[in-house]
Chains A and B, each alone.
Chain A
Amino acid sequence: MAEITSPAGPRPEPVGSAKSERGGKSVLGPDEIRRALTRIGHEILERTDGAEDVVLLGIPTRGVPLARRLAARLAETEGIRVPVGSLDITLYRDDLRLRPARALGHTEVPGSGIDGMVVVLVDDVLFSGRTVRAALDALNDIGRPRAVQLAVLVDRGHRELPVRPDYVGKNIPTAKREVVRVALSETDGEDSVTLQLAPEAAR
């Protein structure tokens, strides 16, 4: 489960999530997640002239299945095949020195490349904006897209950088000490978004 705890580390590894008990306040269920993605799909179509030249890049871990679902939705509804890839941002993080060395995620840029394309970054939760900043740096080294847009399933606020999402599944007002947990069937066996107190605050 994605665990969003501290502003400095918006995407810690999901280590230890197994022992923290399930529960907290359910914010989105499977149907709502599905509807949110469908709506984001439609918005992408509207805002990019029928998803022409669009590349979806998911940010590991949970951005990747979300990007794949979005692409599947676009193929279903409009019959458009949009290239999908993944963009690992670990090596571009600004908090590498604050934590132990991390395992790298997988970066896979579709064969079409990103030069001159409209890249839509896809992530599960938008919090401080630092992940997105790292993703923009990473994109810089891969090519020069015509435009970069941002799609997130949940925007929980508390931005620390001037970052604004283009497509939002759900805005969830949160306190800083709360944790937004996103579970997806591809990675966690179920679709849900829950809100709970941070482990250190609950202790």
Chain B
Amino acid sequence: MNRHLISAADLSLDDAVAILDTAEELAHLAERPIPKLPTLRGRTVVNLFYEDSTRTRISFEAAAKRLSADVINFSAKGSSVAKGESLKDTALTLQAMGADAVVVRHSASGAPHRLARWVSGSVINAGDGTHEHPTQALLDAFTMRRRLGGPDGLRVTIVGDILHSRVARSNVWLLRTLGAEVTLVAPPTLLPVAVDGWPCSVSYDFDSVLPASDVVMMLRVQHERMSDAFFPSVREYSRRYGLDGDRMALLPDHAIVMHPGPMNRGVEIAAEVADSPRSTIVEQVTNGVSVRMAVLYLLLSGSREHDGLGEHGVAEKDAEKHAAGNREADKPEAGKRGAGKRRAGERELVAAGGNPSRPRTGARTRGPA
């Protein structure tokens, strides 16, 4: 595992499974009389939130506190950001305070990637623009594993505003790594242009996909990121792409319904579906704490000399991955809308994550390319 968690696409199968296994053990902790561990005593975790969040921020805070880390919450409102301070200057302030981990949410895609060059601690992406939200994908995979096993071999259908969804993007990459089959369902206007380069299939007909789904993940329509009209009316969207009781009846008996929240009841998901026993929405929140504890433990507990999970040959392995990332970017499909380029960039950052000479920031940008 690398020093940062910026993109679900960077996680190898071993890393992802290690996180889920660790989360499984940590999940039992909540049942104990004292659900607290001394593991990260003396470490500081900063929650740096430039965008509103309920679940994710509280979840990270609870996770860090259960591991005995000190938590500093920062929200852009009421801070010097309102006075015009840049991300870099905020980062340097955090650096000066000695943050061991920075959990960052930002409206700009790629902000955590930039931040990782400015701070010496681990950067954990808690959602950046329309790019990625890796811990959400991990907790979704964890929820699937606890309910249905796998996720190897599961058929997962993700429905809704794929274009603006960092959750969908992270899930597609992580579930591919874990061996699940992903189908995206959305109106054509709400699919990214480069979606044919993603490791998943695409459908426009929700009803035909439902009988062959083990998991249906509903996404919120993100009006706040929309400047255009992407569909004629909310009512029409809801009729074609919303999950109501009749549609839920088309699912196999074992299938579960997921939603990363926040939900818009009556738009993408009917109240009767959200409150049915098939819905894992509340479970997802509980599992989120376990998964985030696992991520914090794996990123922060180890020594600074050999960061992360892999003891042997981390640097070489990452260098290979880096080279592979560049090759991918050279392919014509990956160039679309800069998505491939950005992914390659992420890998470049990560490739240097295993470099033991961290204090020299220059070393981190150096790679085999």
* Binary contact track B26-47/A, C-beta < 8 Å → 1, others 0: 1010001110111100000000
Number of interface residues of A (CB under 8 A): 21
Let me know if A100 and B39 touch, CB within 8 A: no
Is A98's CB within 8 Å of the partner chain B? yes
Let me know if B33 and A97 touch, CB within 8 A: no
Give the chain B neighbours of A99 by CB distance below 8 A.
302-303, 306, 311
Interface residues of A in 123-147 (CB under 8 A from B): 137, 140-143
Let me know if B33 and A143 touch, CB within 8 A: yes
Within the complex, what minimum Cβ distance (angstroms) separates A84 from chain B?
Answer: 17
Interface residues of A in 83-106 (CB under 8 A from B): 88, 91-92, 96-106
Give Cα A101–Cα B298 distance, bound, in whole angstroms: 5
Is A107's CB within 8 Å of the partner chain B? yes
- Please give me the residue from chain A that is nearest to B310 by CB atom: A100
Give Cα A101–Cα B308 distance, bound, in whole angstroms: 6
Is B283's CB within 8 Å of the partner chain A? no
Segment with Cβ contacts to A, from B17-25, B165-173, B344-352: B17-25
Given A99-B302, A142-B32, are A104 and B21 neighbors across the interface (CB < 8 Å)? yes
Give the chain A neighbours of B22 by CB distance below 8 A.
103-104
Give Cα A140–Cα B38 distance, bound, in whole angstroms: 12
Give Cα A199–Cα B309 distance, bound, in whole angstroms: 23
Let me know if B25 and A107 touch, CB within 8 A: yes
* Binary contact track A1-40/B, C-beta < 8 Å → 1, others 0: 0000000000000010000000000000000000000000
Is B10's CB within 8 Å of the partner chain A? no
Within the complex, what minimum Cβ distance (angstroms) separates B111 from chain A?
Answer: 26
Give the chain A neighbours of B26 by CB distance below 8 A.
104
Give Cα A121–Cα B25 distance, bound, in whole angstroms: 20
Within the complex, what minimum Cβ distance (angstroms) separates B41 from chain A?
Answer: 10
* Binary contact track B282-324/A, C-beta < 8 Å → 1, others 0: 0000000000000001110111101111110000000000000
Let me know if B21 and A103 touch, CB within 8 A: yes
Within the complex, what minimum Cβ distance (angstroms) separates A135 from chain B?
Answer: 13
* Binary contact track A28-63/B, C-beta < 8 Å → 1, others 0: 000000000000000000000000000000000000
Within the complex, what minimum Cβ distance (angstroms) separates B353 from chain A?
Answer: 13
Let me know if A96 and B32 touch, CB within 8 A: no
Let me know if B39 and A96 touch, CB within 8 A: yes
Give the chain A neighbours of B34 by CB distance below 8 A.
140-142
Interface residues of A in 180-196 (CB under 8 A from B): none
Let me know if A104 and B25 touch, CB within 8 A: yes
Given A103-B18, A137-B38, A141-B37, are A88 and B303 neighbors across the interface (CB < 8 Å)? no
Our pick among A15, A92, A97, A105 for the contact of B302 (Cβ within 8 Å) is A97
Give the chain B neighbours of A97 by CB distance below 8 A.
301-304
Give the chain B neighbours of A105 by CB distance below 8 A.
25
Give Cα A106–Cα B34 distance, bound, in whole angstroms: 18
Let me know if B38 and A100 touch, CB within 8 A: no
Let me know if B38 and A92 touch, CB within 8 A: yes
Give Cα A15–Cα B33 distance, bound, in whole angstroms: 34
Give the chain B neighbours of A15 by CB distance below 8 A.
311
Give Cα A70–Cα B308 distance, bound, in whole angstroms: 37
- Please give me the residue from chain A that is nearest to B41 by CB atom: A96
Within the complex, what minimum Cβ distance (angstroms) separates B195 from chain A?
Answer: 35
Give the chain B neighbours of A137 by CB distance below 8 A.
38
Within the complex, what minimum Cβ distance (angstroms) separates B23 from chain A?
Answer: 10
- Please give me the residue from chain B that is nearest to A88 by CB atom: B25
Give Cα A143–Cα B34 distance, bound, in whole angstroms: 9
Let me know if A100 and B311 touch, CB within 8 A: yes
Within the complex, what minimum Cβ distance (angstroms) separates A83 from chain B?
Answer: 17
Our pick among A102, A107, A143 for the contact of B28 (Cβ within 8 Å) is A107
Let me know if B25 and A106 touch, CB within 8 A: yes
Give the chain A neighbours of B28 by CB distance below 8 A.
107
Let me know if B39 and A91 touch, CB within 8 A: yes
- Please give me the residue from chain B that is nearest to A140 by CB atom: B34
A positions within 8 Å CB-CB of B: 15, 88, 91-92, 96-107, 137, 140-143
Query: Beyond A91-B38, A91-B39, A104-B26: 16 further Cβ-contacts under 8 Å?
Result: A96-B301, A99-B303, A99-B311, A100-B306, A100-B308, A100-B311, A101-B1, A101-B298, A101-B302, A102-B302, A103-B18, A103-B22, A104-B25, A105-B25, A106-B25, A142-B34
Pairs A–B under 8 Å by Cβ, sample size 21: A88-B25, A91-B39, A96-B301, A96-B302, A97-B301, A97-B302, A97-B304, A98-B303, A99-B302, A100-B306, A100-B307, A100-B308, A100-B311, A101-B299, A102-B301, A104-B26, A107-B25, A107-B28, A140-B34, A142-B33, A142-B34
